[in-house]
Amino acid sequence: MSTGQAIFRDVPDPPAPKRPSLGSRLVKSRTDYLYVAPAILVMLVVIAYPIYYTIELSFFNTPASLALSEKQFNGLDNYVTILTSSIFWKVTWQTIIWTVVSTLFAFLLGLGAALALHREFAGRALLRGLLLIPWVVSAVAASYVWKWLYHSDFGAIGALMVQLGVTDQPINFLDNTTTSLYSLIVVNVWKEFSFAMIMLMAGLQTVPDTLLRAAQVDGASPWQRFWHVTWPHLSSVSTVTVLLLVVQNFNSFIIPFIMTGGGPVGSTQIWITHIYELAFLRQRWGVGAAYAVLLFIIMMTLGYFYVRALTRGDDQRAGA
C-alpha cells in the first residue's frame, strides 16, 4: 500500500481546471438571474431599506413627531440608555424565560405527538389535522379565546379548577404577576407545538425501517431503539426546528400584546412588545431603533446557525 503510493510521489498534480473569471461567469449566467430577479427585488425594497433606516435611526435623538429633519446625532447614547436601564434586564430575563420554556415544551409535545402518530392507524390523518388547527388559526383569534378562558370571573379554566377541587377560588391568571407570564407561555405552546410535530414527523420518515427492525431483532428495547437509531436520524431536523422555534418565540408579539399588553406591571413584557411600546406608545423612536439593532445582532447570530443547519449537504447535490 505505502510502496504503491511512493511510486507516484514525484508525479506532479495535474493542473487544476482553470476557474472562469467572475465577469465571464456573470455574463454566462445572466439569464439565470431573470428567474430570481423578482424575488430579490421585492426583498431588497422591503428588507434592505428598513435595515439601513433602523441602523441609522439608532444613532439619533428623534423628536416624538418623527419629523426626521429635526433628529440630532447622539452617538451611542441610545445604546447606553438601554444597557444601563433596569427595565432592560427585567425584560431580557422575561424574554429568555418565554423563549426557552415555550421552545422546550413545544418541542417535547411535538416530538411525543410525532412519535405517537408515526404508526399507521385508522383516523391518523384526521388526528394530525385536528392537532394542527392551533397552528393554523390566527394568533389574534387564539389570544381572544384564551383571554376568555382565563377570564378572572367567568373563565372556563378557573371554574373547572374549582369544580375539580384543585383550588377554592378561580385563579386570576392574567392579572397576577406570578402567573401571567406562564399563562401566556401555555397559549404560545398550544399555538406552536404542532409546528414541531409536523417537522419531526417529516424527520421520522428518514429513519430507515431496516435499521429499526435489525435493532429489534438484536433485542434492543424500544427506548434503546429510539435513543440509538431514531434520535440520531432526527438530529438535523431537530436543530432546524428548535432554531425556528427560538426565533419565532423571541419575535413573539401578538399573544402578549393582545392578552395583557405587557402587563400587569410589565410582568409579560418581552423584547418585541417593549420595542413596540417604546417606539409607538412613547415615541422614543431612537431608543426603539437601537433595541432593534441589538435584536438584529442576536438574530443574525441565530440566523448563521439556522442557515448552516438548513444547507448542510445542499451543495453536494449536483446541479445542471
Partner 1 sequence: MSSITEYRSGGMGWRWAGRIFLVFLLGFTIMPMAWMLITSLKTGFAAMQYPPQWWPTEPTLDNYWRLLDPSGSVGQDFLRYFWNSMWVSVVTTVLAVAVAVPAAYAFSRFRFPGRTFLFFAVLLRNMFPAVVFLVPLFILMRVLGLVNTHGSLILTYLTFGLPLAIWLLKGFYDNIPIQLEQAARIDGATRFQAFFLIVMPLSTPGIIATSIYSFIGAWNEYIYAYTFLTRHDQMTLPVGIQRFFSENATDWPGLMAATFLMSIPVVVLFLVLQRYFVRALTEGAVKH
**Residues in 105-124 that interact with partner 1 by CB under 8 A:** 109, 112-113, 115-120
Q: Tell me which stretch binds partner 1 (CB under 8 A): 3-11, 85-93, 96-104, 301-309.
A: 301-309
Q: Does 258 bind partner 1 (CB under 8 A)?
A: yes
Phi, psi of 207 (to 5 degrees): -75, 120
Task: Write each residue from 52 to 91 as x if it is in contact with partner 1 (CB under 8 A), else as -, in one continuous string.
Answer: -xx--x--------x-------------------------
Residue of the chain from 144, 182, 227, 231 that contacts partner 1 (CB under 8 A): 144
Q: And the C-alpha cell for 289?
A: 431603533
Q: How far is the CB of 43 from partner 1 (least distance, A)?
A: 6
* Whole-number Å distance between alpha carbons of 311 and 239: 12
Q: What angle do CA 93, 112, 147 make, to 5 degrees?
A: 50
User: How is 138-179 classified by DSSP, letter by letter?
Assistant: -HHHHHHHHHHHT-TTT-HHHHHHHHTTS-SS---SSS-TTT
Q: How far is the CB of 248 from partner 1 (least distance, A)?
A: 9
Q: How far is the CB of 97 from partner 1 (least distance, A)?
A: 18
Residue of the chain from 74, 216, 261, 263 that contacts partner 1 (CB under 8 A): 216
Q: Tell me which stretch binds partner 1 (CB under 8 A): 73-81, 174-182, 260-268, 306-314.
A: 306-314
Q: What is the largest CA-CA distance in the chain?
A: 89
Q: How far is the CB of 77 from partner 1 (least distance, A)?
A: 19
Q: How far is the CB of 128 from partner 1 (least distance, A)?
A: 7
Q: How far is the CB of 226 from partner 1 (least distance, A)?
A: 8
Phi, psi of 60 (to 5 degrees): -125, 155
DSSP structural state of residue 220? -
Q: How many residues lie near partner 1 (CB under 8 A)?
A: 118
Q: Tell me which stretch binds partner 1 (CB under 8 A): 81-89, 92-100, 232-240, 259-267.
A: 232-240
Is 243 in contact with 309 (CB distance < 8 Å)?
yes
Q: Does 127 bind partner 1 (CB under 8 A)?
A: yes
Nearer to partner 1, 170 or 180 (CB): 170
Q: What angle do CA 105, 110, 112 make, to 5 degrees?
A: 100
Q: Tell me which stretch binds partner 1 (CB under 8 A): 2-10, 45-53, 73-81, 84-92.
A: 45-53
The cell 391518523 sits on which residue?
A: 124
Phi, psi of 73 (to 5 degrees): -65, 130
Nearer to partner 1, 16 or 136 (CB): 136
Q: Tell me which stretch binds partner 1 (CB under 8 A): 11-19, 76-84, 87-95, 278-286.
A: 278-286
Please list the alpha-helical segments (H only) found in 63-123. Answer: 77-84, 86-116
29, 263, 277 from 287: Cα distances, Å? 44, 21, 11
* Whole-number Å distance between alpha carbons of 192 and 255: 12
Q: Tell me which stretch binds partner 1 (CB under 8 A): 9-17, 86-94, 174-182, 200-208.
A: 200-208
Residue of the chain from 76, 83, 100, 145 that contacts partner 1 (CB under 8 A): 145
- Contact set for partner 1, span 152-191 (CB under 8 A): 153-154, 156, 159, 162-163, 170, 190
* Whole-number Å distance between alpha carbons of 195 and 113: 11
Which residues contact residue 295 at a Cβ distance below 8 angstroms, ignoring those fewer than 6 apart? 250, 271, 275
